């Protein structure tokens, strides 16, 4: 089946002249095409969003909630199709697109719809009798720009709060993964989102739909998830129009394993934190630090687990790791491994492209890769690889490992594994990251702040933190 994707502007599915291919990462086959949005489509989408803002922002939150719940219901009831489209987009195995994954996409919409309808407001009575209170107005037109690695999760993560708080939206999905966003636009229409409230323009970044959205004078806020360098460019391009910015950027997480950790659980967590989504995951923890007494056993068993992962056909329910997103990305990941070896590290397992029989010989499969002997300043420990490649390094004491874990430009997430409660809290608090998981990985509560420090982002989203991104607080001071 060939997927012919369209933009979604002002409630209509529209095309634009130039189209680009949609490629299934696992086979390299073209499975459809998508339109490349130009300045004209961005202008139309922003104008539609601006026009719709007048009425959408004035709807009662409970009315917005009703419509957004229908949207969330539609996501859930089309879960199987969305899961399949996500795998065609990303190359991730179907088993990782579990019901839980799709439910999370729906929950992103549902949670913020409920939150906005039920949130409290602040009041600050003064000693002299004046009363201050705070109203939260929507900001206006929100430009949402998303990456290719977990598209459905991140698109809904931004659409949910933006719409629930009364903003209107222009979404620019990643060019490698247009299918899920296209389906979302169909479901939005079916669920009765009024025309112009939610628009999707497909296309590329620089000098294409992404940049035009970033520079558009009538876009009030940009919520962007993607690479740190892209964030830097967007920040510069958004400066003349002084947009509000929320950035969720790259990561280089540490997984700190103390010798007392609950062994089997710790191994499971470490494998997931390394190879979920082929390691193409901002929250991955590819720098594994293991306390020296446990190091040899860890290496032996972790390498064994990495070797035994079933890599291949993402549609096969038994497959545990799928295809990387594109040939150029696979080359980039292999390049990191090659340079790590040149710098003196050793590949304990993997490190190569995986050749599979047709039709997967056209895919971008890679062996799960474990590197030993890298030093913490090496490129492999400092730069985001975004593939199934981890380093394992022994450590001797807590202070040393905390310094190594904090010793990159990133600060998104980390994992700490130990049975010692006091140590778990101490180490977690010392890590310069936005999220720390203790004895687990990628457990998400939508009420908590999500985002990163340093080069991993600006601001936090989630729960009431999303108010800072998607609303304007207004102080009303009343003389009584
Ligand atoms: P990317 O920065 O290349 O692209 C992300 C999006 O930005 C795409 O839609 C792209 O078209 C657009 N874009 C690119 N250049 C642009 C420009 N000049 N102006 C406007 N838009 C532009 O990122 P990617 O390769 O798609 O995704 C991988 C990156 O995303 C990794 O660094 C990963 O860590 C990061 N990421 C972060 C989080 C998080 O929550 N912090 C989550 C997922 C992914």
- pLDDT attached to residue 109: 98
In whole numbers, what is the pLDDT of the chain averaged over residues?
A: 97
- Do 72 and 115 touch, CB atoms closer than 8 A? no
**Best residue for ligand 1 mutational test, from 226, 277, 451 (most atoms within 8 Å of Cβ):** 226
Whether 348 shows a pLDDT value over 90: the answer reads yes
**Nearest alpha carbon, ligand 1 atom 13:** 205
Residue of 227, 382, 414, 456 to test ligand 1 pocket, by largest number of atoms within 8 Å of CB: 227
pLDDT reported for residue 51 = 98
Class of domain 3-249+456-478: alpha beta
Q: How confident is the model at residue 215 (pLDDT cuts 50, 70, 90)?
A: very high
Are 417 and 256 in contact by the 8 Å Cβ rule? The answer is yes
The minimum-distance atom of ligand 1 relative to the CA of 214 is 20
> Using omega within 30 degrees of 0 as the cis cutoff, is the peptide bond preceding 125 cis?
no
73-78's contacts with Cβ under 8 Å and 24+ in sequence apart are: 73/106, 73/191, 74/187, 74/190, 74/191, 75/102, 75/105, 75/106, 75/109, 75/156, 75/184, 75/187, 76/102, 76/103, 76/106, 78/183, 78/187
Query: What are the tens digits of pLDDT across the range 221-280?
Result: 999 999 999 999 999 999 999 999 999 999 999 999 999 999 999 999 999 999 999 999
Please enumerate in sequence order all residues whose Cβ is within 8 A of that of 264, keeping only pairs 6 or more positions apart, or say none: none
- In short, whether 459's Cβ falls inside 6 Å of ligand 1 is no
Instruction: Give the pLDDT confidence score for residue 17 in this predicted structure.
Output: 82
Where residue 295 falls among pLDDT bands split at 50, 70, 90? very high
Shortest-distance Cα residue to atom 19 of ligand 1: 211
Quickly state the pLDDT bin for 4 (edges 50, 70, 90).
very high
Say whether pLDDT at 346 is over 80: yes
Is 135 a residue whose pLDDT tops 80?
yes
Instruction: List beta partners, residue 247.
Output: 224, 458
Which pLDDT score is estimated for 22? 98
Closest ligand 1 atom, CA of 175? 11
CATH of domain 254-438: 3.40.309.10
Asked whether the predicted pLDDT for residue 337 surpasses 80, the reply is yes
Mean pLDDT, residues 6-15: 97
User: What does each C-alpha distance from 404 to 69, 267, 426 come to in angstroms?
Assistant: 45, 21, 16
pLDDT of residue 42: 98
> What φ, ψ does residue 275 adopt, rounded to 5°?
-120, 0
Q: So where are the chain's domains?
A: 3-249+456-478, 254-438
Give the chain's count of helices (H) and strands (E): 15, 21
The pLDDT of 404-425, averaged and rounded, is 98
Across 377-388, average pLDDT? 97
Is residue 13 over pLDDT 90? yes
What was the pLDDT predicted at 100?
81
**pLDDT tens for residues 76-118?**
999 999 999 999 999 999 998 877 888 999 999 999 999 999 9
The pLDDT, as a whole number, for residue 98 is 72
pLDDT digits (tens, 9 = 90+) for 311-329: 999 999 999 999 999 999 9
The atom of ligand 1 lying closest to the CA of 452 is 41
C-alpha 429 – ligand 1 centre gap (Å): 28
């Amino acid at each position: 089946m060939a997927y012919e994707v369209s933009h979604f502007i002002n409630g209509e599915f529209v095309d634009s002249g130039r189209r680009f291919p949609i490629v299934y990462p696992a086979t390299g086959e073209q499975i459809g095409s998508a339109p490349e949005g130009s300045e004209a489509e961005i202008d139309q989408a922003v104008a539609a969003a601006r026009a719709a803002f007048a009425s959408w922002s004035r709807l009662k939150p409970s009315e917005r909630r009703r419509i957004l719940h229908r949207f969330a219901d539609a996501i859930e009831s089309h879960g199987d199709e969305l899961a399949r489209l996500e795998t065609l987009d990303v190359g991730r195995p179907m088993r990782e697109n579990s019901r839980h994954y799709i439910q999370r996409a729906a929950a992103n919409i549902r949670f913020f719809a409920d939150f906005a309808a039920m949130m409290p407001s602040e009041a600050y009575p003064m000693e002299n009798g004046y009363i201050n209170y705070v109203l939260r107005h929507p900001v206006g037109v929100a430009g949402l720009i998303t990456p290719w690695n977990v598209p459905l999760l991140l698109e809904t993560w931004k659409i949910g709060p933006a719409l629930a708080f009364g903003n209107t939206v222009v979404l620019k999905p990643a060019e490698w993964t247009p299918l899920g966003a296209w389906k979302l636009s169909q479901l939005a229409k079916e669920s009765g989102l009024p025309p112009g409230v939610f628009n999707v323009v497909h296309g590329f970044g620089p000098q294409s739909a992404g940049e035009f959205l970033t520079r558009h004078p009538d876009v009030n806020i940009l919520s962007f998830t993607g690479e740190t360098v892209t964030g830097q460019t967007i920040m510069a391009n958004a400066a003349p129009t002084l947009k509000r910015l929320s950035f969720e950027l790259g990561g280089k997480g540490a997984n700190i394993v103390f010798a007392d950790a609950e062994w089997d659980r710790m191994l499971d967590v470490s494998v997931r934190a390394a190879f979920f989504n082929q390691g193409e995951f901002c929250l991955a923890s590819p720098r594994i630090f293991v306390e020296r007494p446990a190091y040899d056993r860890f290496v032996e068993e972790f390498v064994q687990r990495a070797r035994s992962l079933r890599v291949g056909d993402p549609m096969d329910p038994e497959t545990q790791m799928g295809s990387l997103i594109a040939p150029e990305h696979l080359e980039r990941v292999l390049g990191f491994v090659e340079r790590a070896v040149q710098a003196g590290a050793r590949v304990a397992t993997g490190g190569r492209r995986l050749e599979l029989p047709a039709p997967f010989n056209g895919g971008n499969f890679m062996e799960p890769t474990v590197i030993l002997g890298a030093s913490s300043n090496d490129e492999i420990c400092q730069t985001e690889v975004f593939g199934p490649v981890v380093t394992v390094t022994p450590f001797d004491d807590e202070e040393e490992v905390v310094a190594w874990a904090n010793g990159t430009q990133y600060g998104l997430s980390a994992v700490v594994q130990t049975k010692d409660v006091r140590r778990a809290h101490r180490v977690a608090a010392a890590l310069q990251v936005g999220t720390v998981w203790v004895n687990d990985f990628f457990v998400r509560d939508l009420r908590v702040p999500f985002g990163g420090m340093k080069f991993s982002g600006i601001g936090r989203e989630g729960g009431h933190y999303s108010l800072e991104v998607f609303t304007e607080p207004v102080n009303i001071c009343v003389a009584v």
